[in-house]
Chain A
Amino acid sequence: MSYQKCLNLFRKRNILNAAILLGLIFFVIILSLSRGSVELSTNEIIRAFLRQGDVTNQIIFWELRLPRLIASLLVGSALGMSGALFQGMLRNGLASPYLLGISAGSGLVIVLMISMGIWLPWIPYAAWIGAIVTTFIVYLLARSGGTISVERLILGGVALSSLFGAIQSMLLLQTEDGRVQAALTWLIGSLNSRGWSEIKLAGPSIVFALIMSLLLSRQLNLLGLGDELSVGLGNSLFRSRCLIGASATLLAASSVSVGGLIGFVGLIVPHAVRFLFGTDYRLVLPFSALLGALTLSTADLIARSGSIEFPVGIITSLLGAPIFIALLYQRQKILINRK
């Protein structure tokens, strides 16, 4: 049977693709663990991993590099997956994890706390709560009748974002310079000195939401057919938009509580995945998580490789944008050649 052959070929290729991505991630993992102000050889990494040998090396491995690496992988996969979920649910390629007010909500809370100088250790929790509460408000605004309208979700998100953004800017202007610096690091996004406590805070919810989202992939495909066809196929628009939105928000909010508002990854990674692997969300979702993890861990490696460390949020945009434009251009060429 020819179609079965085609399907099998397709599946084989996907496994190969996944293998390549995983290989690249593994490569970046090794590089991330060995590179830094103190270079560790593979042998030293293995010894440190087994808690043997030089104590300084063990501390560098267990307390500095490993948690930061895990944080970058978790946050990257969360952002990639969250972006894919929002883009699929809203049927809009401009949707990012921050569209529905997550950046505004958590940004406002972060700036508020830093400018007033209160409860600073609780910032990750507060950012998480700020993100979730804002998205919840946007959802309430988007409710009309027994359903949730996509247009109202997007517009509500934009409106609330600009409102909170204005308050945030006002607060920033009133804040003394030293504190502005700290606030900016959160707003740009950085993984500097992230440790096990952040991972323990955000890790479980990210892993839970990643698994949950994979189960929602068919519902995303259904939503892609449009409201009427989707309802005809027995999909409850209200329920699937709530479930998908909740997973995506949980992912984005958790990643913000670890790394701040890291841009670009959530917006562009799903696009790159669709270029490379097609539009079936059963593939788009897992590959977005993988590519997101690869992108952010690479960016973080680059961010801390120079003589001064940059916030990783700057690197993702600075390097990601040209790569994305190249990808876009390449695809255009392929499409033209086909015609």
Chain B
Amino acid sequence: MTLITKDFSTGYQNKEVIKSINLTLKNVEWLGIIGANGSGKSTFLKGISRILEPSSGAAFLNGQNIHLSSTKGIAKDISVLPQLQTLDLQISVYELVCLGRSPHKRWWETGLNKKDLLKVDESLALTDMNTLRNKPVRTLSGGQRQRAFLSLALAQDAKTLLLDEPTTFLDVHYQLQFLDLLKDLNKDQKLSIITVIHDVNLAARYCDRIAVLKDGILIALDSPGNVLTPALMKEAFKVETCQIKTPIGVQVCTIKPC
């Protein structure tokens, strides 16, 4: 399962935000996308999530053009978790996760079969949402809500997971809890993951490789230690930093803006 973009450009209406990105997501890899505000990292993710069409270039999944294949077929292999802070859903967690089986249903099928229900149960168990399954989604706390939507994505049974800033609205405890959960899924379920992520140190801690965007251009793609150098941090974020080695891996210590 590999996801490849070739000269991938996309944007809104006439404005091209993402310019010719070439990138390969390896099998069972966790790739983090970082960049300053307005660098185009969310737009890039929307592009490969097929919410935006490419203006030139293409994205391929196992050699199949993502934007030209049936959207339902792609949904069996890629699940997407957009930023969800405003969604006010009255349905229960269980009903939400059941919708994750949609790519595996024909358009007229409204019910789920035994296999679907098993998968739903499995997803709820993996995200530790079993006890909350009958609660309405709108009443959940931020951390629980994020896990509920992750459970929805898992029920989709796709091997590639795209997440747009999944930890932005969580406190430190839930940030670590959620990313630990993703790490487990990455290792145990062999999921390939792309996350857009604001926090450079969280990216350094969890991701296998980090892609850095600046003004819609990919300026670096390598392991955290090689990417998060003072020179690159200065170029991408306009901050002076130093790299420090810690028990949890390479981290970045910010000094001042420049």
Contacts and interface: CB of A to CB of B under 8 A. Distances in A.
A216 B51 CA distance: 22
B53 A233 contact: no
Contacts of B71: 231, 234-236
A233 B78 CA distance: 9
B107 A229 contact: no
A178 interface: no
Contact of A231 (B50, B76, B134, B149): B50
A282 B76 CA distance: 23
B156 interface: yes
B188 interface: no
A227 B99 contact: no
Given A229-B82, A234-B75, 19 more contacts: A3-B130, A145-B53, A215-B108, A215-B110, A216-B107, A217-B110, A218-B99, A221-B99, A225-B96, A226-B82, A226-B87, A228-B80, A229-B149, A232-B49, A232-B51, A233-B99, A234-B72, A235-B102, A280-B95
A204 B82 CA distance: 42
Contact of A232 (B53, B80, B109): B80
Contacts of B153: 232
B56 to A, nearest CB: 16
Contacts of B103: 233-234
A3 B156 contact: no
B107 A222 contact: no
Nearest to A1: B121
B84 interface: yes
A225 B89 contact: yes
Nearest to B46: A228
Interface residues of B, number: 42
A278 interface: yes
B47 to A, nearest CB: 12
A217 B110 CA distance: 7
Nearest to A236: B71
Nearest to A218: B110
Interface residues of A, number: 30
Interface in B43-75: 46, 49-51, 53, 70-75
A279 interface: yes
B105 interface: yes
A246 to B, nearest CB: 14
A173 interface: no
A158 interface: no
A214 interface: yes
A228 B51 contact: yes
Interface string A194-234: 00000000000000000000111111011011111101111
B90 interface: yes
Given A145-B53, A225-B87, A282-B110, A234 B102 contact: yes
A214 B53 CA distance: 32
B8 interface: no
Contacts of A226: 82, 84, 87
A322 interface: no
Contacts of A231: 49-51, 71, 80
B102 A233 contact: yes
A225 B99 contact: yes
A145 B52 CA distance: 10
Contacts of A236: 71-72
Interface in A269-303: 274, 278-280, 282
